[in-house]
Structure 1
Amino acid sequence: MSFTLETIHLPHLPSSLPVHVALYRDVQNAPFLRQQLISGNSEFEYALIDASMILSRAHVFSAVFRAVIDYLNKRLKSRNVHSEIVFSFSPTNNIADSFRKFGISDSTKDLLVVKVSVTPEITHDSVAAHLAQSIEGSPVSFTDETLSEIADVAKIKKAYKLGALTSAPAGQVNGASNAEKMRLENSVIGAIALRGAT
């Protein structure tokens, strides 16, 4: 299967909780996917994230780590670990606002999908098969390079209230210097960690 689903074991988390991540471009059925989430269809229990709001792999892993730690410690503020991942991207404690800013919308074209193996039957193969039949889009590699092509830096800075940081034009993380990229990434990851501490 040429489908690019990556299965990751995050450090400091139990190896029994692998995280499956896939990235899509040009998604055609975002309204259908969003409706499955809203209706609580358990087959679509994923974190569906608007990839234009993602800076890097580290940005994703920070939010996933936060959510899984809260799941393990029975501190979830939302419905399940997958909705908690979307919530964990937010620098504020407003769940509805975090879904509006970071979650899938009807107009989402670039989509990041995250699934945590919270039960043994959730495997790399089962997730890959379900996504292959459910998502109408082009799978692309989950790399910092691909994410930097998709990221809308202006929107990300607005969501994290980082207006003072200089940046390249929207969607061009590559246009920024490495130092700028690192500053922005550190600020975003810091905001995720800080909110978790409150």
Structure 2
Amino acid sequence: MTEIETVRLPHLEDYPLYVGVYKDVQNSNFLRQQLLEGNSDFEYAFLDATVILSRNHLLAACFRAINDMLSDRLKSRNVHSEIVFSLSPNNNIAESFRRFGIADSTKHVLAVKVGTKSEITSESVNRHLTDHVQGQSVPFSDATLRELSDVARIRKIYKASAPPKGKANGHTESASDEEGLESFIIGTMALKGS
């Protein structure tokens, strides 16, 4: 069964987010093609889950995108593409889609649907994603995102230096290193375009 989570952002309760995370997706090329063709049934932010560090990382981008939609400041086609753009540390829309959007080879997908209409519900999103995403549904949690994320790639995208290597384990980051990286990323996203 698909695990769609409904998230209501503070101050934006009228625009719920429906979020699903999928491992080992077999049809990324199909999903990407639907986006390229402008198929309105597939109006989602389909993201490469390996470049999302945490829930807060994604939710900060969603908050900015919805605020930009409500203020008529969208720089892309719709609120879903604006979520992808909001993740970027710079103002290059094409680059943000290459780095954060779904590619034909994407194996782990994060799908976000903004409830902009009353007919968009958790049930309708769940049904649609169950019918069209060929992958294993997993919880939208920090633990899942940590498991799927490529921290070295995320650091490269945001130009964040790596923490000094520890004596016991030089390959994994401590919780405080990850929190520091998350703060750096969200700060970078917030400052873009200001």
Tell me the TM-score range normalised by the shorter chain. Answer: over 0.9
* Structure 1 letter corresponding to 2:189: I
Post-superposition Cα deviations, 1:165-193, rounded to whole Å, max 9, x if no partner, equal: 3277xxxxx93111101110001111111
| 5+ long unaligned stretches in structure 2 | 166-170
Is the CA contact (8 Å cut-off) linking 1:8 and 1:20 kept in structure 2? yes
Cα 1:175/1:165, change in 2 over 3 Å: closer
Residue in 2 that maps onto 1:133 = 131
* TM-score normalised according to structure 1 size: 0.93
1:152-167 to structure 2, matched below 5 A, reads 152-162=150-160, 164-166=161-163
| 5+ long unaligned stretches in structure 1 | 169-173
* Structure 1 letter corresponding to 2:98: R
Deviation at 1:50, TM superposition (A): 0.2
Deviation at 1:196, TM superposition (A): 4.5
Residue in 2 that maps onto 1:39 = 37
Q: In structure 1, what is the Cα distance between the partners aligned to 2:105 and 2:43?
A: 20
* Structure 2 letter corresponding to 1:184: L
Residue in 2 that maps onto 1:191 = 188
Cα 1:131/1:107, change in 2 over 3 Å: same
Is the CA contact (8 Å cut-off) linking 2:91 and 2:193 kept in structure 1? no
Quote the RMSD (CA, aligned, Å): 1.3
Residue in 1 that maps onto 2:4 = 5
Is the CA contact (8 Å cut-off) linking 2:46 and 2:101 kept in structure 1? yes
Does residue 1:119 correspond to 2:117, yes or no? yes
Report the secondary structure of 2:118's partner residue: coil
Residue in 1 that maps onto 2:168 = none
* TM-score normalised according to structure 2 size: 0.94
Report the secondary structure of 2:41's partner residue: helix
Q: In structure 2, what is the Cα distance between the partners aligned to 1:32 and 1:89?
A: 23
Report the secondary structure of 2:58's partner residue: helix
Could you list the structure 1 runs, at least 4 aligned residues long, displaced by more than 3 angstroms after superposition.
none
* Structure 2 letter corresponding to 1:190: G
* Structure 1 letter corresponding to 2:4: L
Q: In structure 2, what is the Cα distance between the partners aligned to 1:161 and 1:195?
A: 14
Residue in 2 that maps onto 1:171 = none
Post-superposition Cα deviations, 1:20-62, rounded to whole Å, max 9, x if no partner, equal: 0000000000000000000100000000000000000000100
Q: In structure 1, what is the Cα distance between the partners aligned to 2:114 and 2:187?
A: 23
Cα 1:61/1:196, change in 2 over 3 Å: farther
Q: In structure 1, what is the Cα distance between the partners aligned to 2:71 and 2:164?
A: 37
Equivalent pairs: percent with the same residue?
A: 54
- Aligned pair partner of 1:49 in 26, 47, 57: 47
Q: In structure 1, what is the Cα distance between the partners aligned to 2:101 and 2:91?
A: 15
